[in-house]
Structure 1
Amino acid sequence: MTELITIKVNGKVHNVEADPEMPLLYLLRNDLRLNGPKYGCGIERCGSCMVLLNGKSQPSCVIPASSAAVYEVTTLDGLAKNGRLDPVQEAFIEEQAAQCGYCMNGMIMSAKSLLAENKNPSDEQIRQALNRVLCRCGTHTRIISAVKKAAAKMKNS
């Protein structure tokens, strides 16, 4: 059974005919063709599917598409503005914080959420904020450096 779901994603309103219980992740990737959020586990354990719901990072694999319609959804694809990467995206590139890159969506979205609330987080606060995202490549020190660099960039802009 499908219904019309009206949802605001990356600043644009979309009307999508979909099963209301379908995970938001599927709507984003399959219907809206947004490739930032990744399918990792499907059970809220890896963080690869993170999106911002009204600015807070949340796993899109367990949120029904119809429930997400009450939020403003931002994906990795929507962070750049006017052709310019977000400071968090820039910092992750500059610090070469990715190895395989599969966790980067979750790391960047979680960092963006953290920095919206805390402009100058400690290493421990960064670790805590990124705790929901699984990275097996071992680039954690670069990721922490990238979040600190992003905080500095945001402070100076």
Structure 2
Amino acid sequence: MELPGVLDLPGARLRALREDDWALDHSLSRVADVAQWTYYPADVGVDEARERVARSLTQRAEGRGGRFVVERSGVPLGTIGLSLRVDGPHLYYAFLPAGRGLGLATEAVRALSRWALEHGADVVHARTMVGNVASEGVLERASFDRGPLDVEPDGVSVTRWSRRADSQPTLK
């Protein structure tokens, strides 16, 4: 499954991550609740941010998934990606405070999961750390079904989510 370079959203777009997007990773790592609710490490330095972006670009080049920048009027507000795994694509995302409350996370999740389902995936997976109510709402509005609670190998409690091709978006 080769990921697209751009996906349009209402009033925004997803574009493939570029080398110069390290500054977005750097900024996201400095948002306390991004580090709390995602696997983003807190307070990464410039070199580590550049390395994280380089790893994402390698993942895309090798066909193992990739990330997108969520932009509105050319301003990066967050990131969303798919990791292509044996059991299907796994979606993940994080937004700067300026990108929240605008419906962009829900639209980005809908668009990228819809794209994956239209391009051969039977199901798209996501997970939220237990207690991440905002992200749970995004997935619910994007027609993901709540699955079981699980404990990751690192001991983090998560809720598993899935969206199948026959799921219809919730209008909210």
Q: Under a length normalisation based on structure 1, what TM-score does the superposition of the two structures give? A: 0.30
Please state which structure has a larger fraction of its residues in strand: 2
Q: TM-score, normalised by structure 2?
A: 0.28
Higher relative contact order (CA 8 A, sep 6+): 1
Determine which structure has the larger helix proportion and give its number: 1
